[in-house]
């Protein structure tokens, strides 16, 4: 019986071995195929991800920062410099990992020194718990940075930065401008020459091992140092002009004012100031309109300061000469239903008398004798209706209409400074052209050097002889009419201007008082333009509000530059003084 059982067992064969084997083999092949496919995909088709992961763990970059270049005046005095400061920042991830927020006393001390609310401070960290960088406070003082460092709050760090400082403060604020917290130029020269002043940071890329040791220098980029910028401004004259202007604006309760001083032979601007100004080192709560450089953005009808251009145009065309007599009787006339008049009947006047008396009738008759095209071209040639070439952002071209039809009354009013609007800077360039013998130069805020001489374009617009004639006439204006503009020891030429401020479609009740002139007459060096906007009270004529500022600024500038006097002590300073009611009839 046992034999039979053994025989049946020998004949038994399992039936599941084959398919199990193939299932296991298939699974193994599938897994290895997937791994091979994934490896091929990562290493051949898309290897960048692994490289990026590796670089994140081992590749580091060290930066070598460069500070912003300095802005200097023509004598090397600093107008803008960068000083080292530190910025406080937080690593929220480290703060949370170390439970640093539980150090309540430390956070309260940090908030107190930064003058912040502690709840607002901590909420900025809690708001982004996984972030690795959050600003706490930008550009703090070294003393404050040391205090924060001693608090030793985990996740609170300091890093070096630079902050812009302006030694001249409000004196040169409108010209120099300022930068933002990231050291990028926002206004003035800081903005115009931002790229030149900035430079480029250097950096070194290296690879480190697991212990943080530097094992390979991958790439090195050298820093490009910034350049210093030297302006044409003489800070001594700038400070003098600002002091005198600020005093006049306050004394006459004016809305604002501007003063410009130029070198008539080079086109360099030696001073450009406005009042009111602002402190560029602390601009908090400063109204935006205070940042405006009024000397280049604001334009006004120049009034009687434009009358020398009418005299020059008549001399250039040949319709008038030194012997010309203009009959202005009876002191008024009507053109197109509108009246042109003088304060009184001056009768027959020479060209010098027309300027001394500021006769509207005189300039009107001279203008109407000129061909319209010739006369209008002289305004454009003198630079009205175009910028002065400074390159400053925001500079206005003023208003000088270029149209075919001009009525007689429009030409008449143009002759005494109405119907045209100019910036103080344009007026300074015009008077510089008269002073230097008839050459219009583009104005520059950079010190004249062989490298930047190409920017100072020059064009002759008046003959030397006629420019000299008008210069002598303007000297008589000062000597006979504007005692307040006299500068002791120097022969001075200039012209007052008083104009109503234009409004939409009409004129308002506010005035602008101007004075523009140059000195010394013998060999002109400087041109000064003063604008007092909207003076209050009974004194508003240019000879009353602007001429005294001109005299003091011109006198101080001539002395600072060691320009020799050209007026003999025994010369009569003022041979005749006319009443102020005849001052400017524009």
- CATH number for the domain including 313? 3.40.710.10
Number of domains comprising the chain: 2
- The CA-atom distances, in angstroms, between 549 and each of 92, 214, 301, 308, 488 are 59, 66, 20, 21, 14
Q: What's residue 53's pLDDT? A: 66
Residue 298 lies in a domain: yes
336-350 in b/e burial notation, b at 16+ Cβ within 10 A? Answer: eeeebbbbeebeebb
Residue 321 sits in the same domain as residue 201? no
Tokens 């900035």 -> residue? 198
CB within 8 Å of 243: residues ≥ 6 apart? none
Q: Which residues pair with 356 in a beta bridge?
A: none
**Helical ranges in 254-306 per DSSP H:** 294-297
Residue 443 sits in the same domain as residue 373? yes
DSSP element (H, E) containing 40: helix 17-40
Q: What's residue 512's pLDDT? A: 93
Residue 472 lies in a domain: yes
Residue 215 sits in the same domain as residue 252? no
Residue 56 lies in a domain: no
Residue 258 sits in the same domain as residue 330? yes
Residue 270 sits in the same domain as residue 202? no
DSSP element (H, E) containing 214: strand 214-221
The angle that helices 408-415 and 372-381 make with each other, rounded to 10 degrees, is 40
Instruction: Look at residues 195, 215, 217 and name the one whose alpha carbon lies nearest to residue 206.
Output: 217
Residue 192 near residue 229 (C-beta atoms within 8 A): no
Residue 223 sits in the same domain as residue 273? no
Tokens 């070294």 -> residue? 142
Q: Provide the CA 132 distance to its chain's centre, in angstroms.
A: 37
Residue 533 lies in a domain: yes
Please give the DSSP secondary-structure letter assigned to residue 358. Answer: T
Residue 44 lies in a domain: no
The string of DSSP letters for 328-342 reads: -TTSEEEETTEEEE-
Calpha distance 525→491 (Å, rounded): 12
Residue 163 sits in the same domain as residue 255? no
Indicate the residue among 213, 230, 247 that finishes a domain.
Answer: 230
Q: What's residue 57's pLDDT? A: 63
Residue 423 near residue 298 (C-beta atoms within 8 A): yes
Calpha distance 560→553 (Å, rounded): 10
Residue 24 lies in a domain: no
Indicate the residue among 189, 206, 230 that finishes a domain.
Answer: 230
Residue 443 near residue 388 (C-beta atoms within 8 A): yes
- The CA-atom distances, in angstroms, between 236 and each of 185, 264, 287, 368 are 25, 18, 28, 45
Q: DSSP E strands: which ranges in 120-189? A: 134-140, 156-165, 178-179, 185-187
Residue 8 lies in a domain: no
- The CA-atom distances, in angstroms, between 104 and each of 112, 122, 151, 218 are 12, 10, 11, 44
Q: What's residue 582's pLDDT? A: 46
Residue 530 near residue 495 (C-beta atoms within 8 A): no
Q: Phi and psi at residue 311, in whole multiples of 5°? A: -60, -45
Residue 199 sits in the same domain as residue 275? no
What is the CATH number for 116? 3.90.1310.10
Calpha distance 348→359 (Å, rounded): 11
Residue 211 sits in the same domain as residue 252? no
Tokens 């996984």 -> residue? 130
Residue 440 sits in the same domain as residue 476? yes
Calpha distance 583→478 (Å, rounded): 12
Residue 3 lies in a domain: no
pLDDT along the chain (586 residues), means of 10: 49 62 84 83 70 66 75 95 86 83 86 86 81 84 86 86 90 94 91 88 70 71 82 96 96 95 96 95 88 94 95 95 94 90 94 95 95 95 93 93 90 92 96 96 89 72 96 95 94 92 67 95 96 90 94 97 80 42 46
Residue 244 sits in the same domain as residue 218? no
Residue 485 near residue 518 (C-beta atoms within 8 A): no
> What tokens does 403 get?
């149209």
Calpha distance 468→485 (Å, rounded): 20
Q: What is the pTM of this model?
A: 0.81
Calpha distance 238→176 (Å, rounded): 12
Q: Which residues are catalytic?
A: 304
Residue 156 near residue 137 (C-beta atoms within 8 A): no
Residue 524 sits in the same domain as residue 479? yes
Q: Phi and psi at residue 80, in whole multiples of 5°? A: -155, 125
Calpha distance 379→307 (Å, rounded): 11
Q: What's residue 58's pLDDT? A: 67
The residue count of the chain comes to 586
Domain of 375 in residue numbering reads as 235-280+293-582
Q: What's residue 580's pLDDT? A: 41
């Amino acid at each position: 019986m046992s034999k039979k059982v053994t025989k049946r067992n020998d004949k038994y064969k399992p039936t599941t071995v084959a398919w199990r084997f193939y299932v296991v083999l298939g699974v193994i092949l599938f897994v290895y195929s997937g791994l091979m496919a994934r490896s091929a995909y990562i290493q051949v088709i898309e290897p960048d991800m692994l490289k990026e992961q590796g670089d994140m763990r081992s590749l580091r970059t060290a930066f070598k920062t460069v500070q912003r270049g300095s802005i200097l005046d023509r004598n090397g005095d600093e107008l803008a410099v960068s000083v080292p400061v530190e910025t406080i920042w937080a690593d929220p991830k480290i703060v949370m990992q170390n439970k640093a927020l539980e150090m309540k006393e430390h956070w309260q001390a940090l908030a107190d020194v930064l003058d912040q609310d502690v709840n607002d401070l901590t909420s900025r960290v809690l708001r982004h718990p996984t972030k690795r960088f959050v600003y706490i406070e930008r550009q703090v003082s070294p003393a404050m940075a040391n205090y924060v460092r001693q608090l030793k709050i985990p996740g609170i760090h300091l890093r070096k930065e630079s902050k812009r400082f302006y030694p001249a403060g409000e004196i040169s604020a409108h010209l120099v401008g300022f930068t933002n917290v990231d050291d990028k130029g926002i206004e003035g020269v800081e903005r115009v020459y931002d790229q030149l002043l900035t430079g480029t940071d250097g950096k070194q890329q290296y690879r480190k091992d697991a212990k943080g040791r530097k094992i390979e220098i991958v790439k090195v980029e050298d820093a490009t140092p910034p350049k210093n910028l030297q302006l044409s401004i003489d800070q001594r004259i700038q400070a003098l002009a600002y002091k005198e202007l600020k005093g006049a604006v306050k004394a006459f309760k004016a809305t604002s004012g501007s003063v410009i001083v130029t070198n008539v032979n080079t086109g360099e601007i030696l001073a450009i100031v406005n009042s009111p100004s602002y402190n560029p080192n602390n601009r908090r709560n400063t109204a935006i309109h205070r940042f405006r450089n009024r000397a280049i953005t604001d334009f006004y009808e120049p009034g009687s300061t434009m009358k020398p251009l009418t005299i020059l145009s008549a001399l250039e065309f040949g319709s008038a000469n030194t012997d010309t007599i203009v009959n202005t009787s009876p002191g008024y006339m009507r053109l197109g239903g509108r009246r042109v008049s003088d304060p009184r009947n001056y009768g027959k006047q020479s060209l010098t008398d027309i300027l001394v008396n500021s006769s509207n009738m005189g300039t009107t008759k001279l203008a109407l004798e000129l061909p319209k095209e010739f006369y209008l071209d002289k305004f454009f040639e003198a630079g009205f209706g175009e910028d002065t070439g400074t390159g400053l952002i925001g500079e206005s071209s003023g208003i000088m209409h270029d149209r075919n039809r001009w009525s007689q009354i429009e030409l008449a009013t143009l002759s005494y400074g109405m119907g045209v609007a100019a910036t103080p800077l344009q007026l300074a360039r015009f008077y510089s052209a008269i002073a230097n013998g008839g050459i219009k130069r583009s104005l520059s805020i950079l010190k004249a050097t062989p490298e930047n001489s190409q920017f100072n374009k020059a064009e002759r617009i008046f003959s030397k002889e006629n420019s000299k004639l008008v210069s002598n006439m303007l000297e008589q204006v000062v000597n006979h009419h504007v005692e307040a503009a006299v500068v002791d020891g120097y022969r001075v030429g200039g012209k007052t201007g008083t104009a109503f401020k234009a409004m939409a479609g009409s004129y308002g009740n506010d005035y602008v008082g101007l004075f523009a002139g140059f000195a010394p007459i013998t060999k002109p060096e400087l041109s000064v333009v003063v604008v007092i906007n909207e003076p209050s009270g009974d004194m508003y004529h240019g000879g009353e509000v602007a001429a005294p500022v001109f005299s003091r600024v011109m006198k101080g500038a001539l002395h600072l530059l060691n320009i020799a006097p050209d007026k003999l002590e025994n010369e009569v300073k003022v041979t005749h003084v006319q009443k102020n009611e005849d001052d400017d009839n524009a």
